[in-house]
Amino acid sequence: MLGTMTMPDADAPDQLDTRGILLTLTVVSLAFAWVLAPFYGTILWASIIALVFRTPFRHLRQRLGGRSTLAALVTLAIVLVAVVLPFALVMASLASEAAALYGRLESGELDVAKTLRGHFAALPAWFLAVLGYFGLANFDALLARLVEALSLASQLIATQALGIGLTTFEFVADLVITLYLAFFLIRDGDGLARDVRRAFPLGPEHTRTFFDKFTTVLRATVKGNLLVAAIQGALGGLAFWTLGIGGALLWAAAMALVSLLPAIGAAIVWAPVALFLLASGEPGKAFALGLWGVFAIGLIDNVLRPVLVGKDTRMPDYLAMISTIGGIAVFGINGFVLGPAIAALFVAVWHMYVSARPPLRDDT
C-alpha cells in the first residue's frame, strides 16, 4: 500500500494560493469598481488631466530640482488658468444668454408665432413645394410642431433654472474632487502606471503596445477633438454675430457640441440656417454663411482634425465617427473620449491576437 501512495504535488499549495489570490482580487476589484461607479466621470477627467499635462509636469519637475509636489501644484495651477477658468466664463455667459432668451419668450417680447408667420409668408414657391413634400406646407401644422419643441425646451430650461443651486454645487464639488485626484495622479502617475503594467496579464511587449495605444488615443482624442470643437464653435459664432443672427453664443455652443462628431460636424447647425436665410429672401447672408461654413469651419474639420486626431489614432473616419456616436449614446458626454478609446483598444487587441496566430495556407 505504501507503494501505491501518491505524494502531494509540491506546487499544489502555490497553485491553490495563486488561484485564491486571483479569485479574491477579482471579487474585491469588482466591489471597488461598484463603489467608484458614481464617480467614473470624475476619475476619467482627472486621469485625462494627468495624461495630457504629463509632459509639462516632467519639464517643471526637472526645472524645480525634482520636487514633484511643487511641480504638480504648478501644473494644476496651469490647468485652472488655461482650462477651467475659460470654460467657467463661457458657461456663465451661455447660461446668461439662455436665461435672457427664456425671459423674452415668457414675457411675450419675442413672439415666435408672429415672426415665423412673417418668414413663412415670404418663402418662395419652390421652397414651399419642398416643405409640402415633407408634409410641412401648412403653417399651422409646422407651428404646432415648433411650439411643441419650444415647450419641451422651455420646460428643460425652467427645470435647470429651478435646480441651478444644486447643479452649481454638484459642479463645484465634482470639480474640486477632479482637481484633487488629478494632483495625485500627476505627481504619482509614473509609479502607478508601472504598477498597472506589471499586473497586466500580457507579455511585456503586448502590455507596452496596449498601454501606448490607450494613452495615445486618449491624448489625441481629448486634445484634438476639444481643440477642433472650440475653433469651429468660435468661427461659427463669429459668423452668426457678424451676420446679425440672434443668440450667436448659443449657436456657437451648439456648433462646438456637434463638432465632436467626426465627419458630421458643425454643418448640422450652420447649413439649415443658411438654407433658412436663403428661403427668407436674404441670399447675401445665406451665401456668406455657406462660404464661411465650407471654407472656414469645414476646412478646420477636414485639415486640422486629421492632423491632431487621425495621425495619432490611425483609425479610419467611419470607425471614429460610429465609435464616438455610440460612446456618447452609452456614456453621455464622456463618450466622445471613451468611445474612440475603446474602439482603438479593440483594434489593437485584435491586431495582437491575429499577429500571434499562424498564417493560413492561402496567406503563405
Q: Give tens-digit pLDDT for 271-309.
A: 878 877 777 778 888 889 889 988 888 887 777 776 666
Q: Is residue 362 part of a domain?
A: no
Choice among 84-88, 92-96, 210-214 with the minimum mean pLDDT:
92-96
Q: Is residue 57 part of a domain?
A: yes
DSSP label of 125: H
Q: Can you state the percent helix, strand and coil of the chain, rounding each to 5?
A: 85, 0, 15
How much is the pLDDT for 199?
A: 75
54-75 pLDDT per residue, tens: 888 989 988 888 888 899 999 9
CA distance 33 to 27: 10
165-187 pLDDT per residue, tens: 445 667 778 888 888 999 998 88
In a shared domain, residues 292 and 208? yes
Choice among 146-155, 198-207, 219-228 with the minimum mean pLDDT:
146-155
Angle in degrees, CA 132, 137, 140, rounded to 5: 150
Interacting residues of 64 by C-beta distance below 8 A, sequence separation 6+: 70, 71, 74
Q: Is residue 50 part of a domain?
A: yes
The CB density around residue 139, as the number of other CB atoms within 10 Å, is 17
Average pLDDT over residues 237-243: 88
323-336 pLDDT per residue, tens: 888 888 888 778 87
Q: pLDDT higher for 284 or 364?
A: 284
Q: Is residue 10 part of a domain?
A: no
CA distance 352 to 108: 63
In a shared domain, residues 192 and 212? no
Which of 199, 228, 262 is where one domain is finished?
199
In a shared domain, residues 124 and 161? yes
How much is the pLDDT for 124?
A: 64
In a shared domain, residues 322 and 225? yes
Name the most confidently modeled range: 41-45, 303-307, 335-339.
41-45
Confidence of residue 2 (pLDDT cuts 50, 70, 90): very low
Question: pLDDT > 70: what percent of the chain?
Answer: 67
In a shared domain, residues 143 and 247? no
In a shared domain, residues 216 and 353? yes
Number of domains in the chain: 2
Q: Is residue 123 part of a domain?
A: yes
Q: Is residue 7 part of a domain?
A: no
In a shared domain, residues 184 and 270? no
How much is the pLDDT for 161?
A: 46
- Residue 307's domain comprises 203-357
Confidence of residue 163 (pLDDT cuts 50, 70, 90): very low
In a shared domain, residues 69 and 128? yes
In a shared domain, residues 215 and 121? no
The CA distances from residue 351 to 210, 211, 273, 280, 338, in Å, are: 10, 14, 44, 54, 20
In a shared domain, residues 100 and 68? yes
In a shared domain, residues 215 and 352? yes
Instruction: Map 246-315 to HEC letters.
Output: CCHHHHHHHHHHHCCCCCCCCHHHHHHHHHHHHHCCCHHHHHHHHHHHHHHHHHHHHHHHHHHHHHHHCC
Average pLDDT over residues 41-50: 86
In a shared domain, residues 195 and 259? no
CB-count exposure of residue 337 (10 Å: 0-12, 13-18, 19+):
buried
Which of 179, 199, 219 is where one domain is finished?
199
Q: Is residue 22 part of a domain?
A: no
Average pLDDT over residues 104-128: 62
pLDDT at 162 over 50: no
CA distance 262 to 336: 10
Q: Is residue 237 part of a domain?
A: yes
Question: pLDDT > 90: what percent of the chain?
Answer: 2
How much is the pLDDT for 157?
A: 47
How much is the pLDDT for 74?
A: 92
Average pLDDT value for the chain = 75
Which of 181, 199, 217 is where one domain is finished?
199
